Structure 1
């Protein structure tokens, strides 16, 4: 578990989304007034950036606050804006930009001789360093912040900085120093009585004791932390501490208790949509069952681990990749055309000179000499252009890597937000639509994952792709039977892979939800074949099928989506009822 607890985090944890939204809306109304001074506007923009939930909007507001503060030459407002930009960029995953913003804020606070503001910047730099796995720098920054806070009256900031310092020590492997820091925060929290600080300090001290094999003390502390954080609704930390408790029981050979805690952690992570934790806890359960010789159970959780591992590898945005590839090809062709034009110009001049006759022999010789120099110059330019192209290609590869990282984060955020929203709508008619939307986002994520694994090619091999998509849905709906696959080794372009994924997603989810009521031996088969340059996809189940009334309905969102997508593919789809339901889709395979 890696986390940093800051005042920003504490505020957003204690205050609800609706409260932050109300504050942001109120500040927005004030900002519409015409009689505000530039200084007031800069300050209010920074405050609104702090409260706005959408990180892109928050970043724009913070940058506008910085621009105004720079225009009116107000260093303190500039530093506060840089501080907010650092927080937002860190939430966006741009740790390098966040680090630079924190350093700019720190330099201003040092010039203005504002120690506590300097301490806040040092604490933020420590958070950035922890995110970058640079624990040595994190420890140094957090020590500076702690030293400043110890000479102030801000007890909460002292405790939070000491808590983060303990986490940096723990992640760096300095367990004795980590234990000392966590004990200090617990001692200071006797006055503060802050449940969040108590929960994290107790839980992480328990994790330290677990590493030091002080298992009895570790169990007691982890149990206390779980109780506190579960009541606060902190599913992430609660699940991590439950898994840590399960690992202790595993060390003690208490297999049933170990299984119980790890399974509880996995269930909580699944409900909360915490994919990284689902992956990690599945791996821990697979290891536990393998140790017990329960190889069938171990294999099941190993498969689940692999599914989520593959899902988290997603790093591609097809549209941006194609734009960058096109840009590279255009640059290369323009260079080639330029060189060819130079050579053609020389050849034309040479031909005209030859026609002029022998009387112009001396002049022709001169032209040949000049032409030779031109060719050498053109070759030199061509060599330089090739070097430039190679450098651009490397730069674009780095840009693609960064772009892929952002897309992964965005898709993960969308799926997580949809999952959280579905939980808020429990029992509401809209919940099913939200869950369906999340499944569609995850189907798109699988396309990006495959593109990332298979290089820069824009074709997807259907066998592995469809199998992973369907197995992921089976795991997501806790289905207790395995699908049957008969898929030819063929590939399609990404333009076809995305609609195919969404169609299969709709059909399989519909079968899993409605087809098998009362069916004793359910089965689902996916068959893909290629005949005469046409791709044929068949999805069949042995469920209860569609009634006549249901079969005549074409106005559901799922049916409309399937119809729209098959039109996009210039294909056809048919549904028939014969001992279940059979969907047959045909489209060109090119």
Structure 2
């Protein structure tokens, strides 16, 4: 049908009206079988144009009237369908609104029922809470009565304790007033104790010296002299304590310097052996100062006695330094003759070396020996209560 329509319009434009009418007639016949109303309207309009062009006005008018009739019927049918669609939409919307109205009414009824149930529940709960509140108020009232009685008894007890505290405070104020006097007296007593200990040690040294006057054996005399040195090392600590403003700690830098000088004087070195001291400025209590002083005394004594035989000259290096905030290293080295075997320095009959081992253990330290260009004795120990600065002072 579409091919016939295109062919008829083509021949119409080419003014071959016979061929155009032939294809238009074929077009109308095909549409009569399928009955497409919109196509029929177009066909009548084309036939109207063909008849008008050929001057067949009667047929042209008939085709035009048929065209208008079909066109109006299409319009009416569309309007009818539109009206029917609008009617259906209206009825549907009305039904939806009706359903919504019924739903709203149902929701309102449900809400009213729920509100009624809620009011009943609130009434019941409120009654229970009111009853509970009454019971609680009565209970609190009863407890308050008991608390008041207990508070009265406690108040009496507190008043008695306040009186006792007032007396204690009065005594405390009296003690605070006399605090400075008591502290000064305590300091004086401690210094007096150190002074008496130092005097007693001096007496012991005098007794040893007196005993040495009656001895002819060289080993016995050497033992007496070593004992005097040890007693002098302890005596020097107590001398420093009662001479210093600080009665609890010893300044090791000054103490070691004086201890070494005393040992040098006792052996009459006359400059033959020189000392190099590198001591950090630290202060220690008596618990550390005594074993540390005795350990230095034994090490220096052994060095002066055995490291430089036959009046040899030499240097003794003594250092005390911090290797970490709580670890300290005591080192004594000389450039003397040394030892053939370091095991020789630990004989079972050597009191000095036994003392050094025992004192190192008392310090919680590790004693080591090195025999290189002389003898080197090192003691690494730990003590967190030492107060020090890390500056090294050489003398």
TM-score by length of 1: 0.36
SS in 2 for 1:536: strand
Residues of 2 paired with 1:360 and 1:374: CA distance?
A: 21
Residues of 2 paired with 1:519 and 1:438: CA distance?
A: 23
Asked if structure 2 preserves the Cα contact closer than 8 Å seen for 1:574 and 1:585, the reply is: yes
The Cα shift of 1:493 comes to 2.7
Q: For 1:541-560, list aligned pairs within 5 A.
A: 541-548=334-341, 551=344, 553-555=346-348, 556-560=350-354
User: Residue in 1 aligned with 2:296?
Assistant: 504
Question: Is 1:540 paired with 2:333?
Answer: yes
User: Residue in 2 aligned with 1:487?
Assistant: 279
Q: Structure 1 residues 415-424 or 378-387, which shifts more?
A: 378-387
Question: Is 1:382 paired with 2:172?
Answer: yes
The Cα shift of 1:550 comes to 6.2
Q: After superposition, give the CA deviation of every residue in 1:199-218 in whole Å (9 maximum; x if it has no partner).
A: xxxxxxxxxxxxxxxxxxxx
SS in 1 for 2:314: coil
User: Residue in 1 aligned with 2:60?
Assistant: none
CA separation of 1:544/1:393 partners in 2, compared to 1, >3 Å: closer, same or farther? same
Give unpaired runs (5+ residues) of structure 2.
1-143, 385-395
Asked if structure 1 preserves the Cα contact closer than 8 Å seen for 2:197 and 2:235, the reply is: no
User: Residue in 1 aligned with 2:71?
Assistant: none
SS in 2 for 1:429: helix
Residues of 1 paired with 2:310 and 2:319: CA distance?
A: 25
User: Residue in 2 aligned with 1:423?
Assistant: 213
User: Residue in 1 aligned with 2:47?
Assistant: none
SS in 2 for 1:483: strand
Which of 358, 362, 371 does residue 564 from structure 1 map onto? 358
Where is the helix percentage greater, Structure 1 or Structure 2?
1
TM-score by length of 2: 0.53
User: Residue in 2 aligned with 1:126?
Assistant: none
The Cα shift of 1:436 comes to 0.6
Asked if structure 2 preserves the Cα contact closer than 8 Å seen for 1:492 and 1:589, the reply is: no
CA separation of 1:355/1:443 partners in 2, compared to 1, >3 Å: closer, same or farther? farther
Residues of 2 paired with 1:582 and 1:364: CA distance?
A: 74
SS in 2 for 1:523: strand
Question: Is 1:578 paired with 2:368?
Answer: no
Residues of 2 paired with 1:541 and 1:578: CA distance?
A: 10
Residues of 2 paired with 1:370 and 1:552: CA distance?
A: 73
CA separation of 1:415/1:376 partners in 2, compared to 1, >3 Å: closer, same or farther? same
Give unpaired runs (5+ residues) of structure 1.
1-353
The Cα shift of 1:367 comes to 6.9
The Cα shift of 1:409 comes to 2.3
Residues of 2 paired with 1:427 and 1:503: CA distance?
A: 26
Residues of 2 paired with 1:355 and 1:587: CA distance?
A: 69
CA separation of 1:518/1:410 partners in 2, compared to 1, >3 Å: closer, same or farther? closer
CA separation of 1:524/1:380 partners in 2, compared to 1, >3 Å: closer, same or farther? same
User: Residue in 2 aligned with 1:472?
Assistant: 262
Q: For 1:172-571, list aligned pairs within 5 A.
A: 357=147, 373-386=163-176, 393=183, 396-397=186-187, 399-481=189-271, 482-517=274-309, 521-532=313-324, 533-548=326-341, 551=344, 553-555=346-348, 556-571=350-365
Asked if structure 2 preserves the Cα contact closer than 8 Å seen for 1:515 and 1:545, the reply is: yes
Ranked by relative contact order (alpha carbons within 8 Å, sequence separation 6 or more), the top structure is: 2
CA separation of 1:424/1:368 partners in 2, compared to 1, >3 Å: closer, same or farther? closer
Q: After superposition, give the CA deviation of every residue in 1:450-496 in whole Å (9 maximum; x if it has no partner).
A: 22233454322221111111111011111123310111122333212
Q: After superposition, give the CA deviation of every residue in 1:174-215 in whole Å (9 maximum; x if it has no partner).
A: xxxxxxxxxxxxxxxxxxxxxxxxxxxxxxxxxxxxxxxxxx
The Cα shift of 1:514 comes to 1.5
Q: After superposition, give the CA deviation of every residue in 1:100-143 in whole Å (9 maximum; x if it has no partner).
A: xxxxxxxxxxxxxxxxxxxxxxxxxxxxxxxxxxxxxxxxxxxx
CA separation of 1:519/1:541 partners in 2, compared to 1, >3 Å: closer, same or farther? farther
Where is the strand percentage greater, Structure 1 or Structure 2?
2
The Cα shift of 1:384 comes to 3.5
The Cα shift of 1:559 comes to 1.0
CA separation of 1:396/1:356 partners in 2, compared to 1, >3 Å: closer, same or farther? farther
Asked if structure 1 preserves the Cα contact closer than 8 Å seen for 2:338 and 2:374, the reply is: yes
User: Residue in 2 aligned with 1:272?
Assistant: none
User: Residue in 1 aligned with 2:69?
Assistant: none
The Cα shift of 1:563 comes to 0.9
Q: For 1:154-173, list aligned pairs within 5 A.
A: none
CA separation of 1:364/1:585 partners in 2, compared to 1, >3 Å: closer, same or farther? closer
SS in 1 for 2:239: helix
CA separation of 1:432/1:382 partners in 2, compared to 1, >3 Å: closer, same or farther? same
The Cα shift of 1:432 comes to 0.6
CA separation of 1:436/1:447 partners in 2, compared to 1, >3 Å: closer, same or farther? same
Note the aligned Cα RMSD (angstroms). 3.0
CA separation of 1:376/1:442 partners in 2, compared to 1, >3 Å: closer, same or farther? same
Residues of 2 paired with 1:417 and 1:355: CA distance?
A: 83
Residues of 1 paired with 2:313 and 2:206: CA distance?
A: 34
Residues of 2 paired with 1:419 and 1:446: CA distance?
A: 17
